Amino acid sequence: EVQLVESGGGLVKPGGSLRLSCAASGFTFSTYSMNWVRQAPGKGLEWVSSITRSSGYMYYADSVKGRFTISRDNAKNSLYLQMNSLRAEDTAVYYCAREVAGGLPLDYWGQGTLVIVSS
């Protein structure tokens, strides 16, 4: 059974940092691109970042470029999102999701981890 489990969310002050993790199981992690998608409270989905299978390419939304870094460890079946210089508008539930093919079809999602940026 495919499972994605996010962790690392919490309350952080503006300007602070947080590292999210996503533990994958039930599939060959190294053969899929992975994505982070977030959802602010009461708002819609926002794509954040994606990384290709062997970390050859990383892509970011303009809203997080230069502040967030996506990475993965295929040996540990894990996806990460390092978030620096956090702002109040980064407050959201962060989902990791598996991309089944090119073009953003995300077929499996984690349950999400909540990040709150507040003083």
Q: In what order do the strands lie in the sheet with 18-25?
A: 3-7, 18-25, 78-83, 68-73
Neighbours of 97 (CB within 10 A): 23
Work out how close the CB of 105 gets to other proteins at its nearest, in angstroms, rounded to a whole number. 4
Find the DSSP H helices in 1-119.
none
Between residue 41 and residue 80, which ones bind other proteins under the rule CB under 8 A? Answer: 44-47, 50, 59-62
CB of residue 15 to other proteins, shortest distance in Å? 25
Q: Is 109 in the site for other proteins (CB under 8 A)?
A: yes
Nearest to 6 by CA among 104, 84, 83: 83
Q: Which is nearer to other proteins, 12 or 97 (CB)?
A: 97
Binding interface with other proteins (CB under 8 A): 35, 37, 44-47, 50, 59-62, 95, 100-107, 109-112
